[in-house]
Amino acid sequence: MTIAVTPPAVGWDLHCHTVFSDGTQSVEYLIQEAQLFGLHGVAISDHDTSAGWQIAKAVSAKLSYPVMYGTEITAEEGCVSVHMLAYQYDSMNVELSNLFQKTRQERIARSQHMVELLSRDYPISWEQVVQQCKEGANTTIGRPHIADALVQLGVVENRSEAFDTIINSRSKYYVPTPSPTTHEVLQAVKAAGGVCVIAHAGDIRRNKVLLNNSQLEQLADEGLDGLEVWHRGNDQFQRERLLDIAQRKNLLVTGGSDWHGKGKPNKLGENLTDDKTVREIFKRGFMYT
C-alpha cells in the first residue's frame, strides 16, 4: 500500500477507551458519539480486555453503525513500556485470554502496592480505588482509578493533575506493571488471527526511552502489521521517523484519539485512520461474530 504522509481528514477513530478500562464513558456513549460526529466508524480498544466487545456488537447492530473490535495490550521491551493495539482477533483464543488475565492480575497487585505507598502520606484506601471501577471486576484497573480516588479525596483537581504529580512514572509512589514482552504479545495476537499495531510509538512525554528503529524493524520482521502514527503524543519528528519505517517495512499507518471520555483532554475523532487502511485491517483480521 502507498502511504499517505498527512493525517486523514475523514475515517475511523481506532483508539478509544470505555468504562471497561480507564475511560469514563460507557460503550454505548462512545459509539453514539462517533456516529453523531460523523466518523466513518470507531474501534473500542480498552486496556488488556475484550470485555466491552459484546455490548459494542449489540450497539453497533442497533445503530447500524460500524465498529472495529480491539484491545490496547500492555507490553514491555527491556526498560521501555509499550502499548500494542490488537484488532479483530479471536476473543475466544486461550493463549491471549490467559495473557490478559495475567496482566490484569499484575495490574491489581501493582495498583494495591501504589495505594499502600500513597496511604503513608494521603488518606487513600484500596476500597476507595476499587469503587472507581464502573464495571467492577470486569474493569481493567489502572492509575486513572487511583487518580479518581485522589480527586474524590480533594488531593488533586482532576486526573491530569494526578498524572502530572503524585502518580507520575517519576513519582516515588509509582510502581510499574510487570508485562509480557512485545514479541510475546505480537506472537499471541497473530496466533489469535489479529492485526497488531504499536500505539503512540513516538510519545516522548509518556516514555523517557522509545523503541528505536531497529527494535521496530525487528517487530516488523516478526509480523507486526502497523504503526499508530496519527496520535497527539507523536510530534512531527517522531511522525516522520515512524512514517519512514512504515514505508520501508510496508506497515499500515493508523491513527486514533486515545479518547478516555472526561478522563483526558483528548477529543473523540481528533486523529483518524483512513478507510482504505481500515478495510485492510478487516481483511487481515478475524471476524468477530
Q: Are 132 and 149 in contact (CB under 8 A)?
A: yes
Q: Using the rule CB under 6 A, which residue among 166, 189, 264, 278 binds ligand AMP?
A: 264
17 vs 110 by CB, closer to Zn ion = 17
Restricted to residues 125-144, the positions that interact with ligand AMP (CB under 6 A) are 142-144
Task: Report the partner that residue 274 touches, choosing among Fe ion, ligand AMP, Zn ion, none (CB closer than 5 to 8 A by kind).
Answer: none
Which among 195, 175, 244, 156 is positioned nearest to 45, based on CA atoms? 195
Q: How many residues bind ligand AMP (CB under 6 A)?
A: 11
41 vs 256 by CB, closer to ligand AMP = 256
Residue span binding ligand AMP (CB under 6 A) among the ranges 120-128, 221-229, 230-238, 256-264? 256-264
Site string for Fe ion, 50-79 (x = CB under 5 A): ----------------------x-------
What is the number of residues in the chain? 289
40 vs 83 by CB, closer to ligand AMP = 83
Does the protein bind Fe ion through residue 258 (CB under 5 A)?
Answer: yes
134 vs 249 by CB, closer to ligand AMP = 134
Does the protein bind Zn ion through residue 228 (CB under 5 A)?
Answer: no
Does the protein bind ligand AMP through residue 231 (CB under 6 A)?
Answer: no
Instruction: Give the alpha-carbon dihedral of 182, 188, 194, 198, to 10 degrees.
Output: 0
Report the distance separating Cα 24 and Cα 260, nearest Å.
Answer: 6
β-strands 226-230, 252-255 pairing: parallel
Does the protein bind ligand AMP through residue 263 (CB under 6 A)?
Answer: yes
Q: Could you tell me the three cell numbers for 171?
A: 513519582
Comparing every residue's Cβ against Zn ion, the nearest one is: 22
Does the protein bind Fe ion through residue 48 (CB under 5 A)?
Answer: no
Cα-Cα end-to-end distance for the chain: 28
Restricted to residues 8-27, the positions that interact with ligand AMP (CB under 6 A) are 22
Report the interface residues with ligand AMP, using CB under 6 A.
Answer: 22, 142-144, 159-160, 163, 258, 260, 263-264
Report the interface residues with Zn ion, using CB under 5 A.
Answer: 17, 22
